[in-house]
Amino acid sequence: MAINRSNTHIYDKIIRLLVLALSLFCASTFADTLLVEKQRFMLKDFTTTSGVVLPEIQIGWEAYGSLNKEKSNAILVPHYFLGTSHAAGKYAETDKHTGYWNSIIGPGKAIDTNKFYVISSDSLANTNVKDPNVFTTGPASIDPVTNKPYGLSFPVLMIRDLVNAQHALIKSLGISKLHAVAGTSMGALQALEWSSAYPNMVPRIIAVTGMAEADGLAIAELEKWAIPIKDDPNWNQGDYYEKEEPIDGLTKSMRSIVMIAHHGYIFDRRFKDEMRDDPGPRQSILNEFKINTWLNKYAAYRASKADANHVLYYIRANQLFRLGNKATLAEGVAPIKAKILLLPSKNDVLFPLYHMQSLYTQMLIQKKNVFYDEIEGPWGHLDGIYAVATKADVIKNFIEE
């Protein structure tokens, strides 16, 4: 029997509601299970891919579970663009929120801390400079040579630089081989880079809502986040640390980031009835739509935690990304020995499906051990956080087989 368009729309809504319910159930079922402590790792004379030597770097990190005697059960979790190392649990019982992957990291979960020692680190130039739990080196840090903030004298970073700093952390713990690396969004870029940069050290990679190389569209989309900061007069070519911050530009940048990251959930669902129910915008141009009010408020909150230059450095690292830091994707894929699980989101508008599909195709061409599945959730790019628990069994089986 043929199904008309209206019925198809209804069925689609039912499926999405079921996915939403399952994700929320997983998150609530596995909440508040771990208490964690933020730790510091410091390294002297860190050489970036550009050849610039930083006299000293530090990155924050935390861990869940216990490292076994052989030091063979460690799983690394790099974070997403606006994230931190806080991937699971809480720092204190009174914390309102858990880490972003709390639904899949913990005792008995997809990434089982009864079996694995899960390490999550802040990446160099972490955006959350004003978060008291973040102290990772970046443009806002003091240059020990000048005793002033680096600003734009800080070297441009590649995703490889973030991975190399993590590699130094892992080696300092006496770990010579990881069990796996798993991440979402920019964390997926780092996970994939691990597979090419250190092929003998990582047997398993899980890349959620990521990409293997930035094409022209990705570069242009990411630049939308940079433009408001650069257009703010207070940015002053990155020299603002002893002056007024470019908070207006940073807030607008955060608004752009939030708009694309929350695309599916916010625009198609949370405010879907606004046109019908809210008379304000019809009465005056000065009256805001509820969605714009929400976006502005949330963007201001994100901006209150961030530093403008750090955001620009992450934008550029993503724009410059090509797996393996090679001239072509094929060259970047060539060294990989790990088995790879690719988990894009069907509704991702930041890194659409074709990014992961092209990587999957290239890996098949080179006869790599690669698996592909898709997340179907209502949050778009943020399905990698809020709907990842719908793939808990897939992740668990991949890690443990």
Instruction: Spell out the per-residue pLDDT of the chain, length 401, in tens.
Output: 333 434 444 545 544 544 445 444 444 444 446 899 999 999 999 999 999 999 999 999 999 999 999 999 999 999 999 999 999 999 999 999 999 999 999 999 999 999 999 999 999 999 999 999 999 999 999 999 999 999 999 999 999 999 999 999 999 999 999 999 999 999 999 999 999 999 999 999 999 999 999 999 999 999 999 999 999 999 999 999 999 999 999 999 999 998 887 766 666 666 666 666 778 878 888 888 888 888 899 999 999 999 999 999 999 999 999 999 999 999 999 999 999 999 999 989 899 999 999 999 999 999 999 999 999 988 889 999 999 999 999 999 999 98
* 28 has catalytic annotation: no
- Please state, in angstroms and rounded to a whole number, the distance separating the CA atoms of residues 361 and 367: 10
List b or e across 81-91, with b for residues whose CB sees 16 or more CB atoms inside 10 angstroms. bbbbbbbbbbb
- Backbone φ, ψ for residue 76 (5° rounding): -100, 135
* 348 has catalytic annotation: yes
Catalytic residue among 86, 179, 263, 381: 381
Catalytic residue among 185, 195, 253, 256: 185
- Please state, in angstroms and rounded to a whole number, the distance separating the CA atoms of residues 73 and 175: 9
Handedness of CA 220, 126, 78, 317 (dihedral sign): positive
Taking residue 294's Cβ as centre, other Cβ atoms within 10 Å add up to: 16
Catalytic residue among 256, 348, 355, 383: 348
Q: What pLDDT does residue 261 have?
A: 75
- Please state, in angstroms and rounded to a whole number, the distance separating the CA atoms of residues 91 and 89: 7
- pTM confidence score: 0.89
282: left (phi over 0), alpha (psi -120 to 50) or beta: alpha
* 268 has catalytic annotation: no
What's the first-to-final CA gap in the chain, in angstroms?
Answer: 42
Q: What pLDDT does residue 293 have?
A: 84
